[in-house]
Structure 1
């Protein structure tokens, strides 16, 4: 795919209060960085390079007072007009019709083009775009990922695959991420197109600024030219969405347990290495204090660096922390149906005799606390007694690779299937 740009200079007026001359225009980001200067965009600004590049390519102009106003919000009409001028964005196979009644005259063509290119789906609105309103990040994620789905049908499939995934953003863990935006946020994060802020919030309700748009346009161009399968984070999010776990990506050496290593009491014909078959099923427990289900199971390798890290690392593990003897972290989201008013955390730990999935303990990292992940401490009171009858929280255990410590991870369901895997050489 060729480099994406907006043709002509007509789009510039959409995002300016006036026009400022910027000297000669080069053909590279480096040239933009050396020839374009704004009083409020020092070289140390986090988006300085992207801003200068966006101006050089014609997405923005500065203001007559020599400023760029990087923190100013961008309206829906303005963003739609920019997206509508991405020349290498293909047209959607079945685009909607621009039936919006509140789009200003100057933006009608741009909004129609954005619809034609798949960024905006008019059927998601009720005749009004609220075009003059500032565009919020949640809606931005929807627009951009719908654009990706137009470029590559596998991105469209990814938007479906992540429906039931775990998203490493504070809004997800606190239950404040709108269902209508969840899939788009997941794909946007999985590709690196968008990310969380320092406060671990994705900020779906926060407005999109001019600086952010400058960065996003550059990132979108890159992502649109990249196959979804090349993004490890997106692969994890898809796998968790479809199966409930990322173990096949993070710990592929764990395979179906051989018959001779499975308890004779288990019908081996019902043994599977597909976690989806036991996800949200009733697990047979060693004690009868509570019924137990596992909603999601996340594996994190603390030894992985850079792009090899799990997308879930920042949400569960503190930077620089490393487990001993090659073990990986095992984080299971458990759901209990407590049968006794006096059941405590210690008794929860006796439900499964497994070092890998231990409902007695939760992650105690600063990272997990910052993301507001539900912990056993949130659902227990004095002396660890459960305060609610149906708690859902994250537990922590270890997935071993040391031959002296390796044991099969086995979950036998009341419904029939048994999930059992063990590390292979």
Structure 2
């Protein structure tokens, strides 16, 4: 179901009366009329959100201040954001919306909060009777509100919120283990749809406040995403597939498929062959050597040859701009979970599998990998190259080949005899 999200410009008299005293959010727009677009003293044309701010003011979501400023870095409160979201006129309402139970909402914002609840942005069950309405809205809470709104627009966004439960999220907090489970799904969908992004420090910043400039941008992004089918968004598809199966292979390298029975001898039990990575994810694998038992938690594929807009959502977390491969190979990044039997060094880890794709010998040396704080093999090794933990978990780097002279098949066998077997077709 497609829904076109546009602003509803109710009469200025109503807006002024409903939100009197909330400077800079919406009202009579007298400052805007006096100054015109792009003339706020503190919003130069070169400002990263200049055009979005102009559009948001023009559509009536914000107004300027009497001194000719916009205050783009000022935080937006929950009451203010609820009032803004309430005015998305084509956002459908829930069939049976919950009543507004909050006891701390100022009079001017009560209608806005009630409407934001009815339109699915705010779930009262997530709160304990109080919204803390006049507190700044955090980015984590913003992700929750916006993604909850999307699932009302299209039920498949609701399914996406479920599908990403076990996904890998390209944000520093995910890799450092500091992203709360209660925020993970919303952050994943917010990133996957392009609604929100990580900061220069590679963190999503769930506890950072949301600014007026950011809200101006988010309004436009929400309108775009809400008009788009979830299946048409590659980044979201990757996050969903990793969540459901452990890999984004089917999105980035769909040519890799399970070979047909004609590829095997008649004596081979083809019923044990699978191309479904979810069947081997987190299951104990047969290894070439016996230094450790091994499981694979996640497998990320990155095509380094496509244009930026077509790149994997995981590209910025693993690959530097300068990194390129030869002969058409793709990057293969594997998250390993080992249980060392006695002791194991780096070289012995590399001998556990005989595949250029599944290679635990090294972790990426990219700056991106370091900036995102992805678990690296070097942090688990002693000065002599032995693992200091019995149960190390880290990401390794391999190559997914398409050239048939370079052993392009990927073959993993479970202890129960199940064979994960794929080749480029």
TM-score grouping bracket, smaller chain normalisation: over 0.9
Q: In the alignment, what sits opposite 2:72?
A: 70
Query: In structure 2, what is the equivalent of residue 109 of structure 1?
Result: 111
> Over aligned residues, Cα RMSD in angstroms?
1.9
Distance of 1:228 and 1:95 partners within structure 2 = 24
Name the stretch that deviates more: 219-228 or 262-271.
262-271
Deviates more, 1:412-421 or 1:135-144: 412-421
Corresponding residue for residue 272 of structure 2:
270
Moved more, 86-95 or 241-250: 86-95
Counterparts of 1:300 and 1:166 in 2: how far apart (Å)? 14
Question: Taking structure 1 as the reference length, what is the TM-score of the superposition?
Answer: 0.94
Equivalent in the alignment of 1:337: 339
Question: Residues 325-354 of structure 1: CA distance to partner in whole angstroms, max 9, x if unpaired?
Answer: 1000000001000111x3111111111111
1:410 CA drift (Å): 0.7
1:382-409: CA deviation from partner (whole Å, max 9, x where unpaired): 1211011111110110000112113321
- For residues 272 and 54 of structure 1, what CA distance do their matches in structure 2 show? 51
Unaligned runs of 5+ in 1: 26-31
TM-aligned CA deviation for residue 265 of structure 1: 9.4
Partner of residue 137, structure 1: 139
Distance (whole Å) between structure 1 residues aligned to residue 74 and residue 238 of structure 2: 35
Structure 2 equivalent of residue 347 of structure 1: 348
What is the alpha-carbon distance in structure 1 between the residues aligned to residue 174 and residue 267 of structure 2? 39
2:5, 2:88 within 8 Å by CA — same for their partners in 1?
no
**SS of equivalent residue, structure 1 residue 385:** coil
SS of equivalent residue, structure 1 residue 35: coil
| Deviations, residues 23-53 of structure 1 (Å, cap 9, x unaligned) | 659xxxxxx9x63411100001000000011
Equivalent in the alignment of 1:121 = 123
Change (3 A) 1:64 1:327: same
Distance (Å, rounded) in 1 between the aligned partners of 2:43 and 2:8: 23
Give a deviation string over 1:40-90, Cα, whole Å, max 9, x none.
Answer: 000010000000110010000111111110000001111011111111110
Q: Which residue of 2 aligns with 1:312?
A: 314
Identify the residue that residue 148 of structure 1 maps to in structure 2: 150
- Could you tell me which residue of structure 2 aligns to residue 16 of structure 1? 24
C-alpha spacing 1:334/1:94, structure 2 compared with 1 (3 Å)? farther
Q: Specify whether residues 264 and 387 from structure 1 end up closer, same or farther in structure 2 by C-alpha distance, changes over 3 A only.
A: farther
In structure 1, distance between residues paired with 2:269 and 2:346: 31
- 3-state SS of 1:383 partner: coil
Question: Structure 1 CA distance, aligned partners of 2:313 and 2:387?
Answer: 31
The answer to whether the 8 A contact 1:70-1:209 is kept is yes
CA distance in 1, matches of 2:367, 2:401: 23
Partner of 2:54: 52
Instruction: Determine the structure 1 residue equivalent to 2:284.
Output: 282
Moved more, 263-272 or 157-166: 263-272
Residue 306 of structure 1, CA deviation = 2.2
Aligned residues: 416
Determine the C-alpha separation between the residues in 1 that align with 2:32 and 2:298.
55
How far is 1:12 from its partner? 6.6
**Does the residue aligned with 1:382 lie in a helix, a strand or coil?**
coil
**Per-residue CA distance 1:87-123 (angstroms, 9 max, x = gap):** 1110013322211111111111111000000000000
Contact map agreement 2:4 2:223 (CA 8 A) in 1: no
Contact map agreement 2:4 2:226 (CA 8 A) in 1: no
- Name the SS of the counterpart of 2:406 in structure 1: coil
Q: Report the CA distance shift for 1:398/1:15 in structure 2 as closer, same or farther (over 3 A).
A: farther
Structure 2 unaligned spans of 5+ = none
Is 1:38–2:46 an aligned residue pair? Answer: no
Contact 1:174 1:373 in 2 (8 A): yes
